[in-house]
Amino acid sequence: MDEEKNRSTILLGVGGGVAAFKAVQLTSSLNQAGFAIHVAMSPAAQKFVTPLSFEAVSNRPVLTVVFPSNPDDNPESVYPHLYPATRADIFILAPATADLIGKIAHGLGNEIVSASALSLPSRCQRFFCPAMNVEMWHQPTVQKNVATLESLGWKRIGPDEGHLACGVVGEGRMTEPERIFEIVLHSQTATGRLDKKRILILSGPTIEPIDPVRFISNHSSGKMGKALAQGAVAAGAHVEFITGPVPDENLPCHDDITISHVTTADSMLAAAQKKYAKADVIIFVAAVADYRPSETNDTKTAKPTELFTLTLTKTPDIAAILNSSKRKNQISIGFALETDGEARAKARKKLVAKNLDAIILNGTDSFGANTGEFTWINGSCDETETHWGKLEKVKCAQNVIQLVSKLLEETE
Task: Give catalytic residue positions.
Answer: 166
- CA-nearest of 177, 140, 187 to 30 is 177
- Taking the alpha carbons at both ends of the chain, their separation in whole angstroms is 40
Closest alpha carbon to 128 in 119, 115, 117, 138: 117
Taking phi over 0 as left and psi of -120 to 50 as alpha, with beta for the rest, 153 belongs to left
394, exposed or middle or buried, with CB in 10 Å at 0-12, 13-18, 19+? buried
What letter would DSSP give residue 201?
A: E
Whole-number Å distance between alpha carbons of 185 and 120: 19
Check: CB of residue 204 under 8 Å from CB of residue 244.
Answer: yes
Burial of residue 343 (CB within 10 Å: 0-12, 13-18, 19+) is middle
What residue type is 107 in one-letter code? G
Range list of β-strands (E), 118-178 = 125-130, 155-156, 160-163, 169-173
